[in-house]
């Protein structure tokens, strides 16, 4: 196996979207999917349906009715003991992907808190929680980077860091997901592990609408208004950077068409091919 296809998707209820995930799996053939906002307990996860899709290996962090993350894989998974959420929410799954000895890598799947409506830690506990969560991530990866591990970070980060990651940089500067304090703290997280943002590395800084991964349900026609944001990310550590740069921009794709399916998630899936050849 010289190429591995990764996917990340905030599905906004895994039980509701299971048929759509099955369609996506048939059409795109990902090897590993990081799912966020699964909205179910572990025992409620539709294991059989995913095994029918070809994902024999599944790790779930579930919570009743909200949050939750799961990683499904065609390769064996080993669960890692990690803890990032100061409130104990089910918001991440960390695993080691066993693809064959030296090629094994860690797959950290995150659903970072959205942060509520007001970007003020004094008046908004949800925003404070978001920043605390990312602080914990930063501290963890700052220590881990000293070992030069092979790591992939995926997920709904709920931050659109670049000015071209939103439909209007000027109008969203005071809107949670694009405020300067969030952009700054995400940059510190990226710096902590020397992570490569795959989308920007392959598409460049000028790319805009083609990288949006989220559109509000209030937008009836996302292609007409296209008021999207790039909230969903795939990053790699320095030890895996060459596997990304070995490809061209087609190796990183936002599957906008999935957002147009009937009763879709408000997020589109994102895929990245790692080339180990």
Domain 3-275, what fold?
Answer: Deoxyribonuclease I; Chain A (3.60.10)
Per-residue pLDDT of the chain (277 residues; tens, 9 = 90+): 689 999 999 999 999 999 999 999 999 999 999 999 999 999 999 999 999 999 999 999 999 999 999 999 999 999 999 999 999 999 999 999 999 877 899 999 999 999 999 999 999 999 999 999 999 999 999 999 888 999 999 999 999 999 999 999 999 999 999 999 999 999 999 999 999 999 999 999 999 999 999 999 988 789 888 999 999 999 999 999 999 999 899 999 999 999 999 999 999 999 999 998 8
Residue ranges of alpha helices (H) inside the chain are: 14-28, 47-52, 125-144, 180-193, 198-203, 222-225, 241-245
Bridge partner residues of 166 (DSSP): 229
Q: Is there a contact between 277 and 246 (Cβ–Cβ < 8 Å)?
A: yes
Q: Is there a contact between 148 and 239 (Cβ–Cβ < 8 Å)?
A: yes
Q: In whole angstroms, how large is the CA radius of gyration of the chain?
A: 17
* pLDDT (tens digit per residue) in 241-272: 999 999 899 999 999 999 999 999 999 999 99
How far, in Å, CA of 113 to CA of 111, rounded?
6
| Phi, psi at 269, each rounded to 5° | -70, 150
Q: What is the pLDDT of residue 100?
A: 84
- How would you classify the pairing of strands 92-97 and 214-215? unpaired
How far, in Å, CA of 190 to CA of 10, rounded?
21
83: Cβ contacts below 8 Å, ≥ 6 apart:
136
């Amino acid at each position: 196996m010289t190429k591995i296809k990764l996917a990340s998707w905030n599905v906004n209820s895994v039980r509701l979207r299971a048929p759509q995930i099955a369609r996506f799996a048939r059409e795109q053939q990902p090897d590993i999917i990081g799912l966020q906002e699964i909205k179910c307990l572990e025992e409620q996860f539709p294991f059989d349906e995913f095994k029918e899709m070809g994902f024999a290996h599944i790790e779930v962090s579930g919570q009743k009715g909200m949050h939750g993350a799961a990683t499904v894989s065609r390769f064996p998974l080993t669960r890692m003991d990690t803890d990032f959420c100061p409130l104990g929410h089910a918001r991440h799954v960390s695993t080691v992907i066993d693809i064959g000895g030296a090629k094994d890598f860690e797959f950290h799947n995150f659903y970072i808190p959205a942060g509520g409506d007001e970007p003020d830690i004094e008046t908004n506990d949800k925003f404070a929680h978001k920043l605390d969560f990312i602080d914990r991530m930063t501290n963890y990866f700052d220590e881990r980077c000293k070992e030069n591990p092979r790591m992939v970070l995926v997920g709904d980060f709920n931050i659109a860091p670049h000015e071209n990651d939103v439909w209007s940089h000027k109008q969203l500067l005071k809107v949670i997901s694009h405020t300067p304090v969030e952009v700054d703290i995400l940059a510190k997280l990226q710096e902590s592990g020397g992570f490569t943002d795959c989308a920007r590395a392959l598409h460049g800084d000028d790319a805009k609408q083609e990288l949006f991964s989220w559109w509000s349900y209030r937008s009836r026609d996302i292609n007409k208004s296209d008021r999207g944001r790039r909230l969903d990310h795939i990053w790699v550590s320095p030890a895996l950077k060459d596997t990304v740069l070995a490809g061209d921009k087609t190796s990183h794709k936002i599957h906008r068409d999935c957002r147009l399916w009937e009763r879709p998630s408000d997020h589109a899936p994102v895929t990245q091919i790692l080339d180990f050849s």
